[in-house]
Amino acid sequence: MSLVAGVDSSTQSCKVVVLDADTGALVREGRAGHPEGTEVHPDHWWQALSEALDDAGGLAGVSALSVGGQQHGMVLLDRDGNVLRPALLWNDTRSAESAAALTEEVGAEDYAKRTGLVPVASFTVTKVRWVRDHEPDIASRVAAVALPHDWLTWRLRGYGPAGASPLGPDLGQLTTDRSDASGTGYWNPANGAYDLELFSLAFGRDAVEAGTDAFGASGAAVDAAILPRVLAPGASPGIVHAEIAGQPILLGAGAGDNAAAALGLGARAGDVVVSVGTSGTVCAVSDEPIGDPSGTVAGFADASGLFLPIAVTLNAARVLTSVAGLLGVDFDELSRLALEAEPGAGGVVLVPYFEGERTPNLPHATASFSGLTIASTTRSNIARAAVEGMLCGLAGGLDALRALGHPAERLLLIGGAVQNPAVQRIAAQVFDLPVLVPSPGEYVARGAAVQAAWALTGERPAWNVALDGKPEPDFRPAILEQYKVEQHKVESAG
């Protein structure tokens, strides 16, 4: 039996799955935690990857491995391969003013045409602008800008800080894939190339793609920042270094987490994938690139060669965690309470912008309960309003995809929070699509394993995905209607 491994280096943890390359069946798995926060030193990811691999029984028998990682995180390296500062993660909103400045300088419509997105604080381009403006000493020492999965793949190949890695700091060996590159804000999904002019506008210095003709050209700026070479789907950047693996293990291209999840699910045209994790995402596989000047939908590339228009909310599973803590209950009791209440929660509405919001773009907003009366202020209504608010925020993403003309035939609901019975039941009332709940699994890591098998065999595998649930359709438009009224009030207040 040939084995492949997939890694999900997410915001909260690192997960590893080892699968049968022929069937996709799970053989073993492991996990290790990441520190909390919106900025994290990448060394923590490297340590967690080692621990998760050990927890999964190591790499014995594994023929290929690939890494899926949280998107947008900014990893800055100096010429000696050292990380210059903790990585600013996707959920760090300090660059909101930088995003607004870039949008004003380029124009939202032009930016969307050139990259498929409009800058918000989540995207890498806004973070490099923030460093340029607020940490000029660090900015002056930047030799390369990478993303989390780029850096981990580079380290697995044996590259890294001088004196602390087998092959040393060869920054020209940095690689990425089209899905992760498309989330930077300086790569064009339509033509498959970096928009180096936009990077220069953001960072104040030229850039060059590693491994291209320009990379070694004498005309390239001496102080140009290196950007990872973008690999094609199914390609390999090389092998895991012998000191790390102890055996030949082929590496896959790697991917951004949302694209890896879609790959792991085998998502097809007409599918809408809603993921409820630390963030919430709504995405659909598309044959054509899109650019949404409103910025609601980001026109990312996927990991298969197609495109992945996506809307993202900052507030998802942690909405439930926060309200469960407020009520002093666990997730099971929160679910029981929520299902005890009537749809609409007696008029109680939670607009759950606990950490600001990305869709809509309100980085400084806060959460608010409304509709509270003596009669409606019950534990059950509060619990149900939490679930409804979280899902209504995601339903706004579905509306935005449909407005751009994307077909929506069924909804695949994934993520740790969707095992909550209330989330499944209420999703069927909030989304006017058939809702399918795939069996619990690490779909980002599974998608990375698809890449590993693809690189190994030259063909994308077609593994079956089992379903765990299919809640009865029960669309209740009144839930969305009352939520939108309160959401509009928050947006109008700025």
Per-residue pLDDT of the chain (494 residues; tens, 9 = 90+): 799 999 999 999 999 999 999 999 999 999 999 999 999 999 999 999 999 999 999 999 999 999 999 999 999 999 999 999 999 999 898 999 999 999 999 999 999 999 999 999 999 999 999 999 999 999 999 999 999 999 999 999 999 999 999 999 999 999 999 999 999 999 999 999 999 999 999 999 999 999 877 677 655 556 899 999 999 999 999 999 999 988 899 999 999 999 999 999 999 888 999 999 888 999 999 888 988 999 899 999 999 999 999 998 989 999 999 999 999 999 999 999 999 999 999 999 999 999 888 788 888 899 999 999 999 999 999 999 999 999 999 999 999 999 998 889 999 999 889 999 999 999 999 999 999 999 988 999 999 999 999 999 999 999 999 988 899 999 999 999 999 999 999 888 86
Q: What is the pLDDT of residue 298?
A: 93
427 with 480: CB under 8 angstroms? Answer: no
65 with 59: CB under 8 angstroms? Answer: yes
Q: Which two tokens stand for residue 352?
A: 């759950």
* Beta carbons within 8 Å of 403's beta carbon, 6+ residues apart: none
Half-sphere exposure of residue 407, counting CA atoms within 13 Å on the CB side? 8
Task: Give the separation between CA 476 and CA 386, rounded to whole angstroms.
Answer: 16
pTM: 0.89
Task: Give the separation between CA 178 and CA 334, rounded to whole angstroms.
Answer: 40
Amino acid occupying residue 32: A
Please state the separation of Cα 473 from the chain's center in Å: 28
Q: What is the pLDDT of residue 4?
A: 98
Q: Report the 3 state secondary structure along the chain.
A: CCEEEEEEECCCEEEEEEEECCCCCEEEEEEEECCCCCEECHHHHHHHHHHHHHHCCCCCCEEEEEEEECCCCEEEECCCCCECCCEECCCCCCCHHHHHHHHHHHCHHHHHHHHCCCCCCCCHHHHHHHHHHHCHHHHCCCCEEECHHHHHHHHHCCECCCCCCCCECCHHHCEEEHHHHCCCCCEECCCCEECHHHHHHHHCCCEEECCCHHHHCCCCCCCCEEECEEECCCCCCEECCHHHHCCCCEECCCEEHHHHHHHHHCCCCCEEEEEECCCEEEEECECCCCCCCCCCCEEEECCCCCEEEEEEECCCHHHHHHHHHHHCCCHHHHHHHHHHCCCCHHHCEEECCECEECCCCECCCCCEEECCCCCCCCHHHHHHHHHHHHHHHHHHHHHHHHHCCCCCCEEEEECHHHHCHHHHHHHHHHCCCCEEEECCCCHHHHHHHHHHHHHHHCCCCCCCCCEEECCCCCCCHHHHHHHHHHHHHHHHCC
Task: Give the separation between CA 405 and CA 271, rounded to whole angstroms.
Answer: 13
Active-site residue identified among 257, 271, 292, 302 = 257
Determine the angle formed by the axes of helices 96-106 and 108-115, rounding to 10 degrees: 90
Compute the C-alpha angle 146/309/94, nearest 5°. 50
Q: What is the pLDDT of residue 42?
A: 98
Task: Give the separation between CA 40 and CA 89, rounded to whole angstroms.
Answer: 7
Residue that is written with structure tokens 């300088």 in the block: 105
Amino acid occupying residue 107: G
Q: What is the pLDDT of residue 211?
A: 87
**Residue 257 annotated to the active site:** yes
Task: Give the separation between CA 309 and CA 424, rounded to whole angstroms.
Answer: 24
Count, residues in the chain:
494
Task: Give the separation between CA 415 and CA 485, rounded to whole angstroms.
Answer: 28
Of 341, 430, 427, 422, which Cα lies nearest the Cα of 381?
A: 341
Please state the separation of Cα 54 from the chain's center in Å: 25
